Amino acid sequence: MDGNINELISDLRTYLEYLKGMGITSLPVAENVPKEAPRSETLTLADVRTELGDCKRCKLHRARKTIVFGEGNEKATLMFIGEGPGYDEDMQGRPFVGRAGQLLTKIIESINLSREEAYIANIIKCRPPQNRNPEPDEIESCNPFLMKQIRVIQPKIICALGAFSAQTLLKTDTKITALRGKLYDLEGIKVIPTYHPAFLLRNPERKREVWEDMKKIAELIQGQ
Ligand code: SF4
C-alpha cells in the first residue's frame, strides 16, 4: 500500500515538474466545489414544521399535549410573537385561542387587519408546567425554529407581546414599560413591543397605550 502511494507521489511530482517546464504554474480548481447553502427564501413554513417534528429537544415536551407551532399568513406583513402556549393553546394546538387570544384578535382588527392576514407565534412552542416562565435552555432549544419562521415569513413588522417576548427577542432586560411603543431592529425587521393581551385583561386601563402602539404599527404598514 505504502509502495503504491510513494509511486503515485513520485508520478505526480514528475508530472508537476513537467508542467512547470512547460511554463504552467497554476492548475484549475475542480468544478465540483460545494455550492452555497440554499437561501431561506426556498424554505417554507411546512419545511420548518417538518424539521421540528415531534420535538423533544427540551424538557417542556414531557408535559405538553400539543406543539403550538404558530399560524397565519406565510407572507404576513405583521407578525405577533407572544411568550408561550397556555392551557387552551396546549389543548387546541393553536396560539392565542383563550380569552387573551380573543382580545388579540380584536387588537389586530382595530387596525383593519384580520387575524388570518397576520402571523401569530410564541417564543416557545410547548406549554411550561403551571404556566411558569420558560427557562434559558428551553428558549435556546426552541429559538432556532422561531428564527426560521421569521426568515420564511419576512414580516415588515414584529409586534412583541409582553415583557418576556420583547426582552428575549431584543436580548435585553429593560422593562416592558420602557420598551413598549418604540422601534427596534431584528435582522432588518422592525420590532415594536407592546403589552401582552393577558396583562390587559388584568389591567384594562393600559389598553390606551396598546392602541397607541397599534396606530404606530398601522402607520408603518401604510408607509411601507
Ligand atoms: S419548547 Fe420547543 S424545543 Fe422544547 S420541546 Fe417544545 S418545540 Fe421542542
Tens of pLDDT, residue by residue over 110-142, are 999 999 999 999 999 999 999 899 999 999 999
Mutation choice for ligand 1 from 55, 59, 81, 132, CB with most ligand atoms inside 8 A: 55
Q: Tell me which amino acid residue 171 is.
A: K
Residue carrying the nine cell digits 409582553: 162
Centre of ligand 1 to C-alpha 132, Å, is 15
* pLDDT confidence of residue 40: 57
Contacts for 199 with CB less than 8 Å, ≥ 6 apart: 162, 206
How do residues 169-219 score in pLDDT, each as one tens digit? 999 999 999 999 999 999 999 999 999 999 999 999 999 999 999 999 999
**pTM for this one?**
0.82
- Provide mean pLDDT across the span 8-23: 58
Sign of CA dihedral 57, 194, 182, 133: negative
User: Is residue 151 classed as helix, strand or coil in its secondary structure?
Assistant: helix
**If you measure from the C-alpha of residue 68 to the centroid of ligand 1, how many angstroms do you get, rounded to a whole number?**
9
In this prediction, residue 223 carries a pLDDT of 84
Distance 97 CA to ligand 1 centre (A): 19
- Residue of minimum CA distance from atom 4 in ligand 1: 58
* Cβ(61) – ligand 1 distance below 6 Å: yes
Taking CA atoms, 200 is separated from 55, 100, 101, 102, 127, in Å, by 32, 8, 11, 12, 21
